[in-house]
Chain A
Amino acid sequence: MADTGFEVRLEVVAKAGASARKVAARVASSALRQPGDSTRQVISQPGWESAAALERCLSAWEARVRVLSAQAQQVGDNLGFTTRNYAEAEAKALAIIAQVRAQLDGPVA
């Protein structure tokens, strides 16, 4: 049977997730700013096969970078959900323990 034990430091995982979300924003923003005016000017030059190919490249890479941003965002979101889920599980476990203790320590008849 596989070892299902685990350890987790919630604040570190939460921070790692936040960082991934920041990366996602940075990558998305790069696709809006880059590559820039010179590339657009090259693309607008008629008659060059390479200018037309560069336009196809730009289109493909803008789409790809959006996917990469979404992947980083998903990593960040998942780490966030994970942190919350672990925290909730911990809180539930604590509540159960407290309940059991209360029952055990309940008022003596």
Chain B
Amino acid sequence: MARWHEMAGFQQLSSARPALWASASAEWSGWAGELGQAAAAVNEETRGPIAANAWTGLAAAAAADRIAAAADALEAAEAELGAISDVLQGMAEALTVARDTLAEATALAARSGIRIGPDGTVSAVPVVRLPSAALTGQLAAAQSQDADQVRQLITTAVRQATQADQKAAAELDLLARHAGTASFLAAYNTDVDDASRTELEMITGSIPKGPPGLVSRWWSGLPVAEQKRLMLAAPATLAALPGIPASVQAGLRGTTGVDRVKLVQYALDNWNNTTDDVDTDNCTNFVSDALAAAGMRQQGAFPLGRTNSRDDWYKGPAPFETNRIARHLARADRSYSWADAADLHTFLTSNNSKQVPYSQAQPGDIMFFQRPGQGIYHSVVVTAVVDGLVYYTQHTPGQVDADWSLRQTLDSDRGIDSRVIVVQPAQPMPVPTPKPW
């Protein structure tokens, strides 16, 4: 029975067109945009004038509530359709990887005189009898070995496509059931989050977890462009996978003295971990903990108390407890730059880390959110980049692999001008020791 499913998957995969899914994703994104514009029009041209005292009184208040609800429902729909677009994009990415795996199987089969049937069955073309029986035997053995690899690659490709298909189906069914969601916040906090996470899971799930030999062959068979896409989309998975070349894994960790893979892994493992929370909003405490886990050296000294020098970045040793005094101590033993987004940005950019354009963002970068008039107010960890779009992971509230461009679009349609600053963290230069008197 399992064989029937796999072979049916082979036929589908052979004729699958990832670009079609990507194009469908763009269509849903476009539809989301239209609804976002409709919501903005309701807010600006209907809700706004009435809110500006064109109509007051009890009836006006009731009407204003109704108009606000209509706008909210349109914004919720925009968010949900954006979530559908994310899922379809994940399917396109995963199918691309699966098709590349299948292409590698086909290429190996062609080189080795192996036939792949229309249903995916693998059979060796009989070896021509050579003058030496020993040579004929060697050739047949090599061909048999290659046939095994071709089978493994085909099975891997079908599994890659199947896992993505099942994940996408589950998420799309959820999004179909949630079509009645009337609150933007409910849509954003549940479905948009889930969808972008599912998109990344589909991509990560398309990476084979087989024996190192298979992984190595799979990787070397991928086009260079696809390798680069996966390095940006799933760095932590690739860095831990036996069979991925050591040079690739080292490249993922970076050369700035701050281990990008550890930074991403810390974020993915701890985005919802509240055991070390000391403030109501712990976004930057979380980012600092991730930087420390990635090996960034602390500067400044806890015994000095809480400092806000641009060259200080530290967290003292006080253990966190749930009682009020310990919580106070825990807050007091860290530099402002450890806990405050704007101060962390100042520390990083004053100490060897580099601010880069959004288009150059990579997993393991730190992203700061800012608004005109408000400045920097939030920090997150970039955990993936897919087709130039940044996915980030944050704490309080916890979000994993959230889609920044979708958030920015949704904010923009609601009249919020959200921007980001991307910083590539690097080990700070040692602060010179003060000369003795």
Asked whether A106 is an interface residue with its Cβ less than 8 Å from the other chain, the reply is: no
Known contacts A9-B54, A34-B27, A50-B172; is-contact A72 B38 (Cβ 8 Å): yes
Number of interface residues of B (CB under 8 A): 59
C-alpha gap A4/B28 in the complex (Å) = 46
Are A79 and B179 neighbours in the complex by a CB distance under 8 Å?
no
- Which of chain A's residues have a CB closer than 8 A to the CB of B50? 12-13, 16
- Give CA–CA (A48, B9) in the complex, Å: 9
By size class, the interface of chain A is 35 or more
Q: Does B290 contact A (CB under 8 A)?
A: no
Per-position contact with B for A73-99: 1 when CB-CB < 8 Å, else 0?
Answer: 001101100100000000000000000
Contact B169 A53 (CB under 8 A): yes
- Is the CB–CB distance between B49 and A35 below 8 Å? no
> Which one of B21, B49, B81, B172 contacts A16 once the chains associate, using CB atoms below 8 Å?
B49
Partner of A38, one of B27, B34, B58, B73: B27
Contact among A19, A30, A54, A78 for B88, CB-based, below 8 A: A54
| Distance A52 CA – B53 CA, assembled complex (angstroms) | 49
Q: List 25 A-B contacts (CB under 8 A).
A: A7-B53, A12-B50, A16-B45, A16-B50, A17-B46, A20-B46, A34-B28, A34-B30, A35-B31, A38-B21, A38-B27, A41-B20, A42-B20, A42-B24, A47-B9, A50-B164, A56-B172, A57-B84, A57-B173, A57-B175, A61-B179, A63-B179, A72-B38, A75-B70, A78-B63
Residues of A within 8 A of B (CB): 2-9, 12-13, 15-17, 19-20, 22-23, 26-27, 30, 34-36, 38-39, 41-42, 45-50, 52-54, 56-57, 59-61, 63-65, 68, 71-72, 75-76, 78-79, 82
Closest 10 pairs (CB-CB, A-B): A6-B57, A12-B54, A19-B45, A38-B23, A50-B168, A49-B169, A53-B172, A34-B31, A35-B27, A60-B179
